[in-house]
Amino acid sequence: MLKKVLLAVAFLCAASPALAAKELELWHAMRGPSADEMGRLVEQFNASQSEFRVVATYKGSYEETLAAALAAHKAGKGPDLLQVYDAGTADLMAGKDVVRPLWQVMSESGHAVDAKYLPAVAGYYSDEKGRLLALPLSTATPVLYYNRDAFKRAQLDPDKAPKTWYEIPKTLGALRESGVSCPMTTAWPSWVLFENMTAWHNEEFATHHNGMDGHGARLSFNGRLMVRWISMLSSWMKAGYFEYSGRAAEGEARFVSGECAVLTSSSASYGELRENAKFDLGVAQLPYYDDIGGAPHNTLTGGAALWVMGGKPKPDYHGIAKFLAFLAKPERQAEWTQKTGFVPATMAAYELSRQQGFYAKYPAYEVAVHQLILKQPNGDTRGIRLLHLRAIRTIIDEELELVWKNKKTPLEALNSMVARGNALLAR
């Protein structure tokens, strides 16, 4: 009997480390291949050690995930790690002690993330001293997609996509004459046509370096560049060259069906577009105005990052740092990029993917990388970090729709966007 008791005690002692594994919650908004790949990486980490166990949970859309986390944090609960998209960054940071800077968590735990990040990526997720605030995860930027088969039918060279916006009308006219009902459309108009348009041309979207220098920023994009740009788009719409498809990704569906021949959208959509398109898909650099000094500069980092939530026990931060250091390894970053189609966040992951032949096999993925590393980001091209950016995007969409309906001139709409947005920022 005594022997059985001793054996039972020994078994419990041996099993106690696994039973005592501290659970760390990661809330995210990923679905499909991204969610699958994150689940696989989480399983790898959990199997690599027994002290911590990460649990990744899908919480809905980016907005729903952020709202749920903020509500839970207010109640003294919530996740240890949170995936937050770019538009929610300032709102997340505005709350007192809601998040803890990545650099601090890693430094205190002895798990420094010493990787060299792409300048445009590091710039957005860093503080004024260049220290990372969050771990970049799902990085993307807008690119130009086009139907190579439609180009051929229109007697256009499919290997020479238009490089400037001045070249686009001739291309769209040829496509229209060849029978294409929708020569060009876009997805995510506010992000693509406004935020990235200003950065790509080295101009500010808002004061205080687009809010990156702290509170007090005001929208300022209603200048000559955007008046010219929206006026040009409006003229294309009247000529039947450009069609509005919606505020989100609706344009992608019209493009992949073959209805529209040219699309501006996220680089992260390439894999899905390539898989579903029944035509030869082309990808090119986002066009620019070549008569504006400093253009093209760099496009902006879109997507999301992993943020460390505040108010957790000190031992938990050790586990969080351990997991993030695991994710930051070049081989895992490269694997993440190749499995999901996101832009590599680090130069090491980019170089490793090149060495492994990924970009030789899928050269289209490299277009987005080149846009982000084209030039060193400056104050106006690091990113946009404004409170209420989600609401500001809605305002831009609303006013833009009035232009498409000929209810406002481009200048009237731009002035209204800025006035309405600044009223929000002034609260």
Does one domain contain both 218 and 292? yes
Residue 368 reports pLDDT greater than 80 = yes
- The residue among 9 and 341 whose pLDDT is bigger is 341
Strands (E), 179-290: 182-186, 260-266, 281-284
Does one domain contain both 243 and 392? yes
Does one domain contain both 155 and 122? no
Residue 113 reports pLDDT greater than 80 = no
Does one domain contain both 57 and 126? yes
pLDDT digits (tens, 9 = 90+) for 149-165: 999 999 999 999 999 99
Average pLDDT over residues 346-370: 96
Average pLDDT over residues 305-310: 96
- Give the separation between CA 12 and CA 2, rounded to whole angstroms: 15
- DSSP annotation of 193: I
Does one domain contain both 272 and 213? yes
Q: Which residues contact 381 (CB under 8 A, 6 or more apart)?
A: 120, 123, 199, 202, 297, 298, 300, 375
- Length of the chain (residues): 427
Residue 2 reports pLDDT greater than 50 = no
Asked if 176 and 296 count as a contact pair (C-beta separation under 8 A), the reply is no
Residue 115 reports pLDDT greater than 90 = no
Residue 12 reports pLDDT greater than 90 = no
CA separation, residue 258 to residues 146, 199, 334 (Å): 10, 30, 32
User: Phi and psi dihedrals of 298, rounded to 5?
Assistant: -150, 145
Q: Is 374 part of any domain?
A: no
Secondary structure (3-state) at 109: helix
Q: Residue 370 has what pLDDT? A: 97
Residue 6 reports pLDDT greater than 60 = no
Q: Is 264 part of any domain?
A: yes
User: Predicted confidence band at 403 (pLDDT cuts at 50, 70, 90)?
Assistant: very high
Residue 10 reports pLDDT greater than 50 = no
Asked if 206 and 220 count as a contact pair (C-beta separation under 8 A), the reply is yes
Q: Is 154 part of any domain?
A: yes
Average pLDDT over residues 302-326: 95
The total of structural domains in the chain comes to: 2
Q: Residue 215 has what pLDDT? A: 78
Q: Is 166 part of any domain?
A: yes
Does one domain contain both 291 and 412? yes
Residue 91 reports pLDDT greater than 50 = yes
Does one domain contain both 261 and 350? no
pLDDT digits (tens, 9 = 90+) for 216-237: 999 999 999 999 999 999 999 9
Which residue, of 344, 361, 378, is where some domain finishes? 361
Does one domain contain both 272 and 326? no
Give the domain extent around 118: 14-140+301-361
Q: Residue 38 has what pLDDT? A: 96
Mean pLDDT (the chain) is 93
Does one domain contain both 199 and 340? no
Lowest mean pLDDT among 102-116, 152-166, 172-186, 241-255: 102-116
Q: Residue 114 has what pLDDT? A: 60
Does one domain contain both 175 and 71? no
Residue 338 reports pLDDT greater than 90 = yes
- Give the separation between CA 34 and CA 339, rounded to whole angstroms: 8
Q: Is 3 part of any domain?
A: no
Among 227, 386, 368, which Cα is nearest to 301's?
A: 368
- The residue among 173 and 111 whose pLDDT is bigger is 173
Q: Is 2 part of any domain?
A: no
Q: Residue 1 has what pLDDT? A: 47
pLDDT digits (tens, 9 = 90+) for 167-226: 999 999 999 999 999 999 999 999 999 999 999 999 999 999 999 998 799 999 999 999
Residue 59 reports pLDDT greater than 80 = yes
Q: Residue 229 has what pLDDT? A: 98
Q: β-strand 302-309 against 99-100: which pairing, if any?
A: antiparallel
Q: Is 375 part of any domain?
A: no
Residue 128 reports pLDDT greater than 90 = no
Does one domain contain both 177 and 241? yes
% of the chain at pLDDT higher than 90: 86
> Within 306-363, where are the H helices?
314-327, 330-340, 347-355, 358-361
Which residue, of 361, 380, 399, is where some domain finishes? 361
Rg over alpha carbons for the chain, rounded to the nearest Å, is 24
Q: Residue 274 has what pLDDT? A: 95
- Give the separation between CA 70 and CA 122, rounded to whole angstroms: 25
Strands (E), 7-63: 22-28, 52-58
User: Phi and psi dihedrals of 75, rounded to 5?
Assistant: -90, 5
| CATH number reported for the structural domain that contains residue 405 in this entry | 3.40.190.10
Q: Is 9 part of any domain?
A: no
Does one domain contain both 286 and 405? yes
Average pLDDT over residues 301-320: 94
Average pLDDT over residues 236-255: 98
Q: Residue 19 has what pLDDT? A: 56
% of the chain at pLDDT higher than 70: 95
